[in-house]
Structure 1
Amino acid sequence: MEEESTLVRAEDPKHVGRVSSEIKPDSYRLYFKGLVSEETVELLAGFGVAICDKDDNLLFQMKEQVHDSRVTVLEVEIMALKRGLTEAVGLGIDNISIYSDHYRIFELVMEKSASAEENFALLMDNVQHIRQRLTSSFPVLVTRNQIKFVYELAMETIVSEITIHIPDHNKTCSICSDDNFEPEQMFTVALCGHEFCVECVKRHIEVRLLAGGVPRCLHYQCESKLTLANCANLLTSKLKAMWELRIEEESIPVEERVYCPNPRCSSLMSVTKLSNSTREDVTMRSCVKCGEPFCINCKLPWHSNLSCNDYKSLGPNPTADDIKLKALANQKMWRQCENCKNVIELSEGCMHITCRCGHQFCYKCGAKWISGRVFCTHSRPPYTPSMTSHEEELEKYIGDLRRGTQDD
C-alpha cells in the first residue's frame, strides 16, 4: 500500500501547502485519491473522487474499483483525476482547484515533467484535453490528511472487494459471451477499464491491423486506443511490425505518405523527407530501405527515358523489352494506334492517319477522327501509311528483341 505523503504540511486542513496565486476565489475544489493494494493474492485497486464548493460543502462524490492486474498507483491516480474533471465539466463548473497529495501528479498537471510511458502519456493527454474545457483548473499540492475523506472512499473500494471475494472468479467476455474465463484469460483496456477475453482481443487486433487501422477498445462506441506496449505479449512478430507501421503511418499526413513500389519492400516514406534529401528538379528517389529507384511524381519504378504517362500505358508490370521498345518509339517519334496498338511512323504526308485496322487519328496529338469530323487543327486529307524503311527498322528491332528473349 502506498505510504502517506509528507511533502507538504499545513496547520489548518482547509488551507493548502502550495497554492497557485491564480486560483479564483469562487473556485470549486476537486479531491481525488487512487490506491493499489498488494496485500492479497490478487492485486486490488480503486479510487475516490469528491467535488466541493469553495467552503468545502460536498457537491459530488463517488468511488470505483479498477480491475487490472498490472495497474500502478500512478495510473489509478490519473484515472481518478480524469473522472473528477469529467464530472466537474458535467456539473457545469468553470473554475476548479485540483487537490492532490501525489507529487508526481502535481508535476504532470503543472506540465513540469512528462511521462515516457505510453499508458501515462495517453491518460495525461486525456486529462489535459478535459482541462481545456474549463476556464481555470489549477493544481494544489496537499498532505494526506487534507484529502482524508477521498482516501477513505478509495480504501472502501478495496475493502469491499476483499469482503465480497468468493472462490469463483469466472468472468464473461461481452464479445463472444463466454462466461467461463479465469481472470488471467481476460484483457483489460488500460484507458477505459473494459474487459474482454484474450482470444477476442487477439482477433480484433489482427483484423484492425490488416484493415489498415490502429486497434481501439472493442466496446461499442468506445474510442479508447489499445497500446502496443500493453498488447505486445498477445502479438506475433509480424503483427508487432504491422502495428509499428500503423503508428508510423499515423505520424505522417496522408498526402505526405509514399510507399516503395518494389513489391518485395513496400516501405513507408515521407515525401518531404525524400525531397529534402535531393535536388527539387530531380524526380528520381531511392527507397530508404531497399535502395530501389522510383519516380516521386507517379510513385512507380524509375523510368529514365519515358514520361510518367508513357510508362503507365505499358501496364502494371512492364517487361524490360516493353520499356526499351517504348523508349525507342519516343526517340523515333513513332505513334501507337489506340485501337490495335500497332506502332506507326509518319514518313511523309499530313497528320491525319488511318491505321490498317481502320482507326483514324491525328498523328501529332492523338485526337480521334470520327465521321469526317476533325477534333484538332493538325489534320489534312487522310493518309494511309505503307511499309517504310522506318517501319522495317521497327519490325527488325521487335524481331531482335524476341530472339534475344528466346536465347535467354
Structure 2
Amino acid sequence: MVPRGRCTAGGPPRVHGRRVCPGLGAAAASPVRGPVSGHPPTVHPGPPPHPWIALTAHDCSAMTTARYRPTWDLALDPLVSCKLCLGEYPVEQMTTIAQCQCIFCTLCLKQYVELLIKEGLETAISCPDAACPKQGHLQEDEIECMVAAEIMQRYKKLQFEREVLLDPCRTWCPASTCQAVCQLQEMGLQTPQLVQCKACAMEFCSACKASWHPGQGCPETMPITFLPGETSSAFKLEEDDAPIKRCPKCKVYIERDEGCAQMMCKNCKHAFCWYCLESLDDDFLLIHYDKGPCRNKLGHSRASVIWHRTQVVGIFAGFGLLLLVASPFLLLATPFVLCCKCKFSKGDDDPLPT
C-alpha cells in the first residue's frame, strides 16, 4: 500500500512525492513512475474532484492567484479631491476651470456660481480657491454650461450693468421707468454736459443725474438713482431707509435688507453710513451714531457698540504696550547691529592680500 499524503504545515499534501492541489484528492495526481517497495504503482481513488477544478497543481496556483487578486491591481478610476467639500469623486464628476486649471466637483462649483449670481455679489466670478496661483475667473461659456437659463440671463444683466457703470462714456437714464443707456460725448467728460435720453427724451446732467441746470452748479449730494425698471413709488429721495442706494464713491448699486447701518461697498471698499451716505472710513469707534440725525440708528445695542469700542481701544493699546516694552531692547540692539554692519562693510572694502 502506498501511504496517502497527509496535510502538513509546509503546504498541500503530497502523493508519492508530488504536490497536489488541496481538495482535488489523489485522483488529480499522476502515479509515480516505477514500482515502490516491489509493488506496482497504484492510485487510490479519492473523492471526486470539483466539477470545475480539473487542474494540475500549476493551474490551481494560477487560478487561486487570479481569483484572489488584490483590489489595487484592478483597473479602477482614480479619485480626485474637491477643495470645497473635501470629498473624493471620479474624474467624470469633476469640473476644471480653463483659466487656472483648478478642479472642483461639479455640484459644489455649480452651487458656488449660482449663489454669487443670485446675490449679485460680483459679475466676474473668480476661482473658489482663495490660494489660486493664477487668480483665474470662470468664462461665460463655462458658467452657461452649469446654471439654468434664468440664472444665466440674470448673470448677463449684471454683467451689462457693471460694464455701463465702469464705462465713462455711458450712463443710465435716471428716470425710474426708463431702462435706456445714454451715450456721453468723449470730449469734456470731466465737466458736466447735457445728456438727452433717446428713449424717453429726458434731459439731465451727466455729473449729478439731475435735470439739466444750465449755468448752475451741481448739488453737493448725489441724488438717489433707481435701478432700470424700478418704479419711483418704492424709492423716494427724501427717504433715508430706501432699500437700494448707490455707493457715494463709485456709484455702484447696493441693496440693504436689514442689519447694521455701517455699509462697505464691495466694489471700492468704501465704508459709509446708509442713511446719510457720510464716509465712515476713519470712524473706527463709530462716533457718527452718537449725535446728529443718525443717532442710535446703527442697528446694534448700546452694549455691543461699547464692546466694539473696547476691542478697538484694546488693539491699539496692545500695540502701544508692545512697542513700549520692546523699545529698550531695540535701543540696545541698534548700536550692535550698526557696528556689525559697519564692520562687514569695512571688510568688503579692504583690498585682497597679494
Task: Give the alignment's TM-score, normalised by structure 2.
Answer: 0.32
Task: Give the alignment's TM-score, normalised by structure 1.
Answer: 0.28
* Larger CA Rg, structure 1 vs 2: 2
User: Which structure shows the higher strand fraction?
Assistant: 1
